[in-house]
Amino acid sequence: MKDLENTLENLSLAAEHAVINDTKPDGVYSSIFTDRHDYKKEYVSTNSMETSAKWIIDSMREETFDFCRDDAKFKTINKKLNEYKQIKN
């Protein structure tokens, strides 16, 4: 079963997370779990030399997404990711 609404919603969330991941600057952060965290992108391990945005763009080319490729929201997500595909801090 191909669920257009949920596919696009989750793809949008993944794209949002990818952009945040690709653009988050090094720095000191806090949260409800810790009062201080020194974040340095060089210490973050990934399984790709590409940006998260580029990885999702490549995944969106798979036939799994054929049923929603012509949808306006799919195209908007793809366009947004393309703005960040070269950024790797």
Mean pLDDT of the chain: 90
**pLDDT at residue 87, rounded to an integer:** 62
Helix (H) or strand (E) holding 8: helix 4-23
Instruction: Establish how many alpha carbons lie within 13 A of residue 4's alpha carbon, considering only the half-sphere containing its beta carbon.
Output: 9
pTM over 0.85: no
**pLDDT over 90 at 79, yes or no:** yes
Q: 38's torsion region: left (phi>0), alpha (psi -120 to 50) or beta? A: beta
Q: Which tens digit of pLDDT belongs to each residue from 16-48? A: 999 998 998 999 988 888 888 888 888 877 777
